[in-house]
Amino acid sequence: MANWKLDPTHSEIEFKVKHMMISTVTGSFSEFDATVDAADDSFKNAQFDFSAKIDSISTKNSDRDTHLKSDDFFNAEKFPQLTFKSTSFDGEKLVGDLTIRDITKEVTLDVDFNGIAEDPYGQTKAGFEATGTINRKDFNLNWSAVTEAGNIVVSDKVKLIANLQFIKQ
């Protein structure tokens, strides 16, 4: 069994959500961690564990970030992190339990395993790109508003994008 730890300088976690149904806002987490326990270099049935610090959320707008950290959305004070623990990985689909606030739901992410390479310093690294869509209201991220014209301010659907590089320990 090989243990792999996240290489944070070569990884990013983003989310995208429609604003007023006409544009997309991108956000990210600057503080997150992940590990993978894999039987072999195929990563089939590997165990993926991930966490992100809610307080590190950034949408490049401090007022919006403060709102996202409030009880209208994530409630960073009471629920300081989100977590994901995989239950299966077949090489293309990663299934696991995503916990946001105090709600855990099964989610399926599409994964591109980009392979394994050795860096100039002799470290063995593996790269993955994972994408998926969740409904924010499934996790009690319920805040909503409608403009005078009837446009929904924040879509319920949230796209998740994780570009992750791991270092073999």
Q: Which domain holds residue 93?
A: 2-168
Total count of residues recorded for the chain:
169
Residue 118 has a pLDDT of: 96
Number of domains in the chain: 1
Which residues in the chain come in under a pLDDT of 50? none
Residue 93 has a pLDDT of: 97
* Helical (H) or strand (E) element with 33: strand 32-38
Q: How far is CA 70 from CA 78, 89, 131, 148, in A?
A: 10, 34, 26, 24
pLDDT (tens digit per residue) in 33-47: 999 999 999 999 999
Residue 155 has a pLDDT of: 87
Residue 152 has a pLDDT of: 75
* Helical (H) or strand (E) element with 3: strand 2-6
CATH number at residue 51: 2.40.128.110
pTM: predicted TM-score of the whole model, two decimal places = 0.93
Q: How far is CA 150 from CA 142, 143, 145, 153, in A?
A: 18, 16, 9, 9
